[in-house]
Amino acid sequence: MSKVALITGITGQDGAYLAEYLIKKGYQVHGIKRRSSMFNTERIDHLYQDPHEVNRNLILHYGDLTDSLNLTRIIGEIQPDEIYNLAAMSHVKVSFDTPEYTANADGLGVLRILEAVRLLKLTEKTRIYQASTSELYGLVQEVPQKETTPFYPRSPYAVAKLYGYWITVNYREAYGMHASNGILFNHESPLRGETFVTRKVTRAVARIALGIQQKVYMGNLSSKRDWGHAKDYVRAMYLILQQDEPSDYVIATGITTTIRDFIRLAFQEIGLEAEFKGEGVDEIACLSAVNESVFNQKIGEAYLESIRKRIGETLVGVDPQYFRPTEVDLLLGDATKARTILSWEPRYSLLDLIQDMMLSDVKLMKKESYLKKGGYQILNYFE
């Protein structure tokens, strides 16, 4: 009998990678998908199986973390061995605009799942993974951050996730449930949502190289993040649920980088040098040099002449609309516990990650090149 997993947030970045990972391990994977007015399964379409097939290993259910009746019914029907609760309103900046919804989905949503498992008398059978976050450390009280570092959340998102973290610990202690938190630091990939900083940058750099976009506007360039690859991080989620004892784990690379340096590295990946000057809202980055052989190899000789003409021009500017009311300035994780107990190690370096994302976005933007200049401004509106 194959194991049965339920993934909430299966249409998101992590849900897609985790579904693929578990299917390869022989699991039957069930996913909860919100109803939307358009298809939103692009990240998992390669795993799709016709509902008329027998012995499917991917089955989707309509549902929502704000609907406890729906969650209880689905969990009761599936009787999962493992639940990975990845669904969330996951954008920190947007959580300042939608604080009540964020609290409901990211905070109470966790309680709804734990309570459903308890009421359905599945506490012995079902193991639960809660997608906790390095945002809990917020105004950091210690560098690097580990499992014992005190939390200091700095956004409605992080405050909602704080509730999710502690209600998971509480159900573990009160009812003996196998419920664990993965305190995951930022992880990215070609599947990352377009409005998170790394993907915004790799998309923009690709479009600038191809002449579709002139310039990109960013927020705080000085904050630092410990970025890993989502593929490495979903492996950690799985390992956490395979342990005999439930526990909470920091998952991080142990290297932190500014947004500014991430941008510099993304341009370098395709042979362009971006030179930063100025400060605060007046900071800009100009194109200072082109490494022609790298550019030709990664982008194509057809685009060389037009990028050469742009040397000295501004490619990056700052727009305060992307600043957050309260910022998380520095995240740097210490994953010693995961390395020791789970034998987990990241396989991707930051440069590997940037290479993967740039390769994918250059390919994608070449396809999207029918988009007229200015189209990007509409797409960028919510970034």
DSSP for 266-295, please give it: HHHHTTEEEEEES-GGG-EEEEEEE-HHHH
Separation between Cα atoms, residue 365 and residue 332, nearest integer Å: 32
**Pairwise CA distance, residues 383 & 194, whole Å:** 7
Give the residue with the Cβ less far from ligand F7E, 136 or 365. Answer: 136
Residue range at the interface with ligand F7E (CB under 6 A); choices 40-48, 51-59, 321-329, 347-355: 321-329
In this structure, are strands 216-218 and 314-318 parallel, antiparallel, or unpaired?
Answer: parallel
383 labelled catalytic: no
330 touches 227 (CB < 8 A): no
Report 155-194 residues binding ligand F7E (CB under 6 A).
185-186
Residues that bind ligand NAP (CB under 6 A): 8-9, 11-15, 32, 34, 36, 40, 64-66, 86-90, 105, 131, 133, 184, 186-187, 193
8 A C-beta contact, residue 360 and residue 368:
no
Q: In whole angstroms, how close is the CB of 143 to ligand NAP at the nearest point?
A: 18
Active site residue 198: no
| Binds ligand F7E (CB under 6 A): choice among 218, 250, 270, 330 | 218
Is 62 or 277 the residue whose CB approaches ligand NAP more closely?
A: 62
The entry of ligand F7E, ligand NAP, none near residue 219 (CB within 5 to 8 angstroms by kind) is ligand F7E
Contacts 24+ apart (CB under 8 A), 44-51: 44/10, 44/11, 44/15, 44/16, 44/19, 44/20, 46/20, 47/16, 47/19, 47/20, 47/23
Partner whose footprint covers residue 235, from ligand NAP, ligand F7E, none (CB < 5 to 8 Å by kind): none
135 counts as catalytic = yes
Distance CA 144, CA 79 (A): 39
With contact defined as beta carbons under 8 Å apart, do 274 and 316 qualify? yes
Nearest-CB residue to ligand NAP?
12
The residues of the shown chain that bind ligand F7E, judged by CB under 6 A, are 90, 92-93, 133-135, 185-186, 195-197, 200, 218-220, 223, 225, 259, 322, 324, 327-328, 383
**Which residues form the catalytic set?**
133, 135, 157
